[in-house]
C-alpha cells in the first residue's frame, strides 16, 4: 500500500493515481482513529492537562480562580497529613506489589514443579477469584473479617493468640498493614496466573536437565525461573505498583482513611480535598504528584523489561 511497494517502471499517470489513492487511504485511515482519539482527548488528555493547570491555582470549583504558582505543591509537601499519604502509598507498594509478586513467583514455580495437572489448574482458578470481584466488595468483606468479632480474631483466639485480638482496621499501628493484606488477597492470583503462564513458556528441557543433576527447588528457582521470567515479573510489578499507589476503593470502604489519618492514601485525599473541602488547587497538586510518582517508579521497571528482551 505504500509507494515503495510499487514497481519502479510505473508510467507518470499511474504514479499520480497511486499517489492520490495513497493520500485518500491515509485520510480514510485517520477517520478510523478519529472517534477513539476524540473521546480519549476530551475525557482523558484534556482533563490531564487541566489537572496540571488547576494545580497552580487557588479555586473552589465555582468562584474566581487565582494564580498561586507552586504554593499548592508547597502545601502538599509541608502539611504532614498530605505528604503522609504518599508515605502510606509507598508502604502499600510492599503489600500490593512486592509480596504478591514474590509469593506469586513461589506459588507459580511450585505449581510448575509438583502440580502441573488438575490440582494446579484448580489452585490457579481459586486464587484468581478475588481479582474479578469489585474492589469495594473486597473492602466490605475484609472490613468484616478484621472486625472485633470477625474471622481473623476468631482464628487468633483459636490458636492461643487471644491476647492480641483487636479491631485491626481501627488500630493506629496495624490498620495500614491490614489494608495491605486485602491487597495481597486481591492480587496474589493475578500475579500467580501471569507468572505461571510465563513459566509454562520456559523450555521444559532446562528444568529436566537441572533435575537430572539433582537440583532442588531453591536452585531451580533462582537459576532458571527468576532470570527467565524478567519480562513477566516486570509486567506484574508495573500493574500492581500502579494499583498500590492509586488505591481508592478498598481504603474508602474499609477504613475511610482512619483511624485519624493512619490509612489515608493519595487517591482518597484527592477525593476529600476536591469534593468535600472544595480545595481544587491542592487536590490537583496532589493528583499531579501521584501521576509523576507512578511514572517515576514505572520507568525503571520498564527498562528492566526492555533489557530482558535483548
Partner 1 sequence: MKIGRGELFTGRALLVVLMVFTVLPFISIFMTALHPSGTVPGGLDWPAHPQWNNFVEAFKVANMSTLIVSSVRIVLMVVPIALVISTMAGFAIGLLRIPGSGLLLTLFVFGLTLPFQGIIIPIYILERALHIYNTKVAIALPLIALYMPFGVFWMRAHFVNMPIEISEAARVDGATIWNLFRRIHLPLAQAPIASLGILMSIWTWNQFLLALVLVEDPTQRTMAGALGAFQGHYATNVPLLCAGTIIILVPTLLVFVLFQRQIIKALLQGAVKG
Question: Interaction with partner 1 in 218-257: which residues (CB under 8 A)?
Answer: 231-232, 235-236, 238-239, 242, 245-246, 248-249, 252-253
Q: Which of 93, 187, 285, 287 binds partner 1 (CB under 8 A)?
A: 287
State the Cα torsion 140-146-149-150 to the nearest 10°: 70
Q: Which of 101, 224, 251, 270 binds partner 1 (CB under 8 A)?
A: 270
Q: Which H or E element spans position 308?
A: helix 280-309
**Nearer to partner 1 among residue 120 and residue 180 (C-beta):** 120
Upstream peptide bond of 164 is cis (omega within 30 degrees of 0): no
Q: Is there binding between residue 149 and partner 1 (CB under 8 A)?
A: yes
User: What are the CA-CA distances from residue 102 to residues 69, 97, 105, 173 (Å)?
Assistant: 42, 8, 5, 24
**Nearer to partner 1 among residue 165 and residue 261 (C-beta):** 165
Tell me the three cell numbers of residue 124. Answer: 490457579
- Binders of partner 1 in range 104-123 (CB under 8 A): 106-107, 110-111, 113-115, 119-120, 123
Query: What is the size of the binding site for partner 1 (CB under 8 A)?
Result: 101
Q: Which of 72, 85, 97, 284 binds partner 1 (CB under 8 A)?
A: 284
Q: Is there binding between residue 202 and partner 1 (CB under 8 A)?
A: no
Q: What is the DSSP letter of 79?
A: S
Tell me the three cell numbers of residue 189. Answer: 492470583
Rg (CA), the chain: 26
Tell me the three cell numbers of residue 83. Answer: 505528604
- Binders of partner 1 in range 165-184 (CB under 8 A): none
Q: Is there binding between residue 18 and partner 1 (CB under 8 A)?
A: no
1 Cβ neighbours under 8 A, 6+ residues apart: 22, 25
Question: What is the pattern of x (binds partner 1, CB under 8 A) and - over residues 42-81?
Answer: xxxxxxx-xx--x------x--------------------
Q: Which of 127, 175, 199, 285 binds partner 1 (CB under 8 A)?
A: 127
d(CA 200, CA 207): 11
Secondary structure (3-state) at 60: coil
Distance in Å, CB of 172 to partner 1, minimum: 21
Amino acid at each position: 500500500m505504500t509507494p515503495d511497494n510499487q514497481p519502479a517502471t510505473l508510467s507518470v499517470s499511474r504514479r499520480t493515481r497511486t499517489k492520490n489513492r495513497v493520500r485518500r487511504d491515509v485520510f480514510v485511515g485517520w477517520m478510523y482513529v478519529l472517534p477513539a482519539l476524540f473521546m480519549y482527548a476530551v475525557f482523558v488528555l484534556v482533563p490531564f492537562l487541566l489537572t496540571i493547570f488547576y494545580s497552580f491555582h487557588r479555586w473552589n470549583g465555582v468562584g474566581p480562580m487565582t494564580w498561586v504558582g507552586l504554593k499548592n505543591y508547597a502545601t502538599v509537601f509541608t502539611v504532614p497529613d498530605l505528604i503522609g499519604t504518599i508515605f502510606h502509598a509507598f508502604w502499600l507498594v510492599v503489600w500490593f506489589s512486592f509480596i504478591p509478586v514474590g509469593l506469586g513467583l513461589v506459588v507459580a514455580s511450585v505449581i510448575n514443579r509438583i502440580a502441573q495437572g488438575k490440582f494446579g489448574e484448580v489452585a490457579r482458578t481459586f486464587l484468581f477469584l478475588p481479582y474479578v470481584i469489585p474492589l469495594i466488595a473486597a473492602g466490605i468483606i475484609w472490613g468484616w473479617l478484621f472486625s472485633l468479632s470477625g474471622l481473623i480474631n476468631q482464628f487468633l483466639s483459636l490458636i492461643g493468640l487471644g491476647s492480641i485480638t483487636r479491631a485491626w482496621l481501627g488500630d493506629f499501628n496495624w490498620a495500614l498493614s491490614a489494608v495491605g493484606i486485602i491487597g495481597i488477597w486481591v492480587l496474589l492470583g493475578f500475579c500467580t496466573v501471569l507468572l505461571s503462564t510465563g513459566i509454562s513458556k520456559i523450555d521444559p528441557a532446562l528444568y529436566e536437565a537441572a533435575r537430572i543433576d539433582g537440583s532442588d527447588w531453591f536452585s531451580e528457582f533462582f537459576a532458571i525461573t527468576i532470570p527467565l521470567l524478567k519480562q513477566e515479573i516486570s509486567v506484574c510489578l508495573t500493574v500492581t505498583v500502579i494499583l498500590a499507589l492509586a488505591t481508592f476503593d478498598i481504603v474508602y470502604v474499609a477504613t475511610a482513611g482512619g483511624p485519624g489519618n493512619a490509612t489515608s492514601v493519595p487517591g482518597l485525599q484527592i477525593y476529600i480535598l476536591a469534593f468535600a473541602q472544595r480545595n481544587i488547587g491542592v487536590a490537583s497538586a496532589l493528583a499531579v504528584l501521584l501521576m509523576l510518582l507512578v511514572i517515576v517508579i514505572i520507568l525503571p521497571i520498564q527498562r528492566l523489561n526492555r533489557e530482558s528482551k535483548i
